[in-house]
Amino acid sequence: MGAEPPRSPGRYSHPSQAHYNARPFLLIPGEADLDIVVNEELKAYIDPLTPEEHESLERSLLAEGCRDALVLWGSVLVDGHNRYGICQKHGLPFQTVQNPRFQSIEDVHLWMIDQHLGRRSVSDFQRGILALRKREILAQRSATQTPTGPVPITEHESEADAADTSPAPATAPAERPPSREALAREAKLSGNQVALIEKIQKQAAPEVIAAVRSGKISINAAATVSSLPEEEQREAALAGSKELKEVAKRVRDAKRKPREVAAKEPVTPPLETDVDEAVDELTQLRRQVAELQEENAALRKELADLRAAST
């Protein structure tokens, strides 16, 4: 858990331009020369805007001003990096708000994830990545909050506890990490999409991840290509999106052919052939038994004739 940064007063200009949800935020007017800290890790936590999206935002801010307040954690900028940069570039006024619920860097990350999952402009791949990040944070938090067992109590502590009649503070239950299905619903994806994105995250070469992140190939194609050795993935990605799609198609075809061959192979005839062979073998054995019985009967007759002749 990261330590909370020192609280700093917020900056505001032209209150009539304010447009934000006041709860759970606090608009804190203060010195106009507040030094806002840009944390590069937080800035890079969410995928950056495309050049076209950044140009569109810049035109909007120049035409309408910065209506949405920048969200701070102390003096650290949490939300509004693009707006802050554009306002600094053109000298535009802006407001800041504090979120009192931020107690750690994990709280900040979870808030950023939830904010971006609610935005329509976020791609399906980025939604899946954010959902998986949320699950990882909650899993780590749940593990650290899980009690490991009772702490031994000394005799002195036992007597002190007996004298203390004040109620013990309630322990907040650990938040369980959501299931894949719950994550998918929150990210507006299917469970299969989340599984494919998780596979890409774990197995895909950086070049393949960059391709699916930019929309050059689909999530399905990237997941298929990620099953190849990393060097083959890299070569396909460097050859361009068309080659990546062709490689994905070849991999799918290669996996499909064994299934098709297996489906075409007759399953019932071998079983019938085995039964026919067993029946033929049984018939042959019965024939051999009958022949032996006839030979046995003939030998007995000859023996009886010999005995009769000797008398």
Answer whether 194's CB lies under 8 Å from 131's CB: yes
Look at residue 133 and tell me if it is in a domain: no
Are 95 and 27 within 8 A, CB to CB?
yes
Given the structure tokens 């990237």, which residue do they identify? Answer: 222
Within-domain flag for 81 = yes
For every one of its 311 residues, what pLDDT tens digit does the chain have, with 9 covering 90 and above? 454 454 443 333 333 333 333 344 555 443 334 689 999 999 999 888 889 999 999 999 999 999 999 999 999 999 999 999 999 999 999 999 998 889 999 999 999 999 999 888 889 999 999 999 999 999 998 888 755 555 455 554 545 454 555 554 444 455 677 777 888 888 899 999 999 999 999 999 999 999 999 889 999 999 999 999 999 999 999 988 898 899 999 998 888 766 655 555 555 555 544 555 565 677 777 777 777 787 777 777 777 777 777 76
Using alpha carbons only, what angle is made at residue 264 by residues 263 and 266, rounded to the nearest 5 degrees?
100
Residues with Cβ < 8 Å from 246, sequence gap 6 or more?
none
How far apart are alpha carbons 228 and 223 in whole angstroms?
Answer: 10
Pairing, β 70-73 against β 76-79: antiparallel
Domain of residue 46 covers: 15-104
Task: Report yes or no on 118 lying in a domain.
Answer: no
75 in any annotated domain: yes
Could you tell me if residue 231 is inside a domain?
no
Q: What is the pLDDT of residue 13?
A: 37
| Chosen domain end from 78, 104, 130 | 104
Of the residues 104, 126, 151, the one at which a domain ends: 104
In a domain, 153, yes or no: no
Given 44, 72, 104, the domain boundary residue is: 104
The domain that holds 99 is classified in CATH as: 3.90.1530
> Which runs of consecutive H residues, i.e. helices, occur in the chain?
40-43, 51-64, 81-90, 105-117, 124-145, 155-163, 180-186, 191-203, 206-213, 219-225, 230-238, 241-264, 268-310
Cα-Cα-Cα-Cα dihedral of 278, 281, 285, 286, to 10°? 70
- Is 97 a member of any domain? yes
Q: How many structural domains are present in the chain? A: 2
Amino acid of residue 76: V
